[in-house]
A and B are shown apart, each in its own frame.
Chain A
Amino acid sequence: MLFVIVPVYNEAKNIGRVVRDLFQLQDGFRQIVKVNSDRLRNDFKVIVVDDGSVDDTAKVAREAGATVLRHAINRGQGAALQTGNEYARRHGAEYVIHFDGDGQFDVADIAPALEKLNKDNLDVVLGSRFLDNRSKLPWTKRYIVLPLARWIQNVLTGVTLTDVHNGFRVLNKRALEKIEITQDGMAHNTEIVSQIKKHELRFAETPVMVRYAEYGQGLSGGVKIMFDVLFSHLVK
């Protein structure tokens, strides 16, 4: 019923805590999606998609209680998310949450996002670091990299968002059935936004906090994403 999909690559250090935190909050999710606790206990799943890690990510995630899907070789975050989505579809998921496995997101942001999805009758809720002041972004990201990337994404997709390349999403069944990620790398973020527009999915943003342990996508990563997005527009 409610699947949290966590794509990971070499995150043995963080994935155990992320999975345990997710399980701790499942009762809160139950109240929001209004199902009895036994049903949710059976149907709440944390799906860790291990994208060909060479460390103990899969083992740690499994020990923490997650269902682990393992790519034999590394295919990228977009590919891992799509694997998770397909698994969720096959197992009758009604809600899917995309959540990063590096411990940068706060699990407390999931419940308000789920609530927004249900209350406002939406198909997708997208996380944004710019709707409150909790995320302490490096200033180059806040003032240069992300605004530039956001402008490019808004132009390419025709969807105006306050954030770009944020891995936090909540999807209902309709969105899960419509969205098909073909971008294996990080360009899947832009692809998802394009598909939201294409399939006329109802969406909104929700504030999320991101703790920065590492810088994340730098300028070269951004250039690669832009190239992937443009190339995919040229070649089908």
Chain B
Amino acid sequence: MLLIQILLILFFLFAIAKVVGRWQTKELTLGALVMWLLFWLCAGTVVLMPNLTSYFAKLVGIGRGADLVVYVSLAILFFVVFRLMVAVGRLRSDITRLTRQITLDTSNHGTTAQQHNSTATRQSF
């Protein structure tokens, strides 16, 4: 076994331990746990049996297994970046709505307080 294979497998085991840990603390749903476990197990299989990628590469018409890994990784990364951008956009929009709500509520309270004060002043006369 090559050194890089050992290092990668160790990293994948670490990642699996983190995923399971997050599921135990209920930060991940069961579905997400299964998806991530499958992902890291597939990655481990590819690292342990690199020829597998060549088999799949030929199946889809790509010359080398390494190329297939790069293409698939890029596609996944682009998808993840897109999902992140959408999520960040939603977060920003939520923060704005929250900021606005606080601003408008505060201004209403301010107005009410002013009205109370002026009423109190009028009554004292």
Q: Counting CB contacts under 8 A, is B8 at the interface?
A: no
Q: Is the CB of A231 within 8 A of B107?
A: no
A56 proximity list for chain B (CB < 8 A): none
Other-chain contact of B107, A69, A72, A75, A184 (Cβ < 8 Å): A69
**Chain A interface SS verdict (over half):** mixed
Q: Is the CB of A75 within 8 A of B104?
A: no
B104 proximity list for chain A (CB < 8 A): 69, 83, 86-87, 90
Encode contact with B along A42-77: 1 for CB under 8 Å, 0 otherwise: 000000010000000000000000010111110110
CA–CA, A231 and B86, complex, Å: 9
CA–CA, A86 and B104, complex, Å: 8
Q: Is the CB of A82 within 8 A of B100?
A: yes
Q: Could you tell me how many residues of chain A have their Cβ less than 8 Å away from some Cβ of chain B?
A: 19
With A83-B104, A86-B104, A90-B104 as contacts: A71 and B99 at CB distance below 8 Å = yes
CA–CA, A135 and B110, complex, Å: 40
Q: Is the CB of B86 within 8 A of A72?
A: no
CA–CA, A70 and B107, complex, Å: 9
Which of B21-29, B45-53, B70-78, B88-96 is near enough to bind chain A? B88-96
Q: Counting CB contacts under 8 A, is B113 at the interface?
A: no
A71 proximity list for chain B (CB < 8 A): 99-100, 103
Most buried by A among B93, B103, B106: B103
Which residues does B use to contact A, with CB under 8 Å? 85-86, 89, 92-93, 95-96, 99-100, 102-104, 106-108
Which residues does A use to contact B, with CB under 8 Å? 49, 67, 69-73, 75-76, 79, 82-83, 86-87, 90, 182, 184, 231, 235
Q: Which 6 pairs, one residue from A and one from B, show the smallest C-beta to C-beta distance?
A: A79-B96, A75-B96, A83-B100, A71-B99, A69-B103, A184-B96
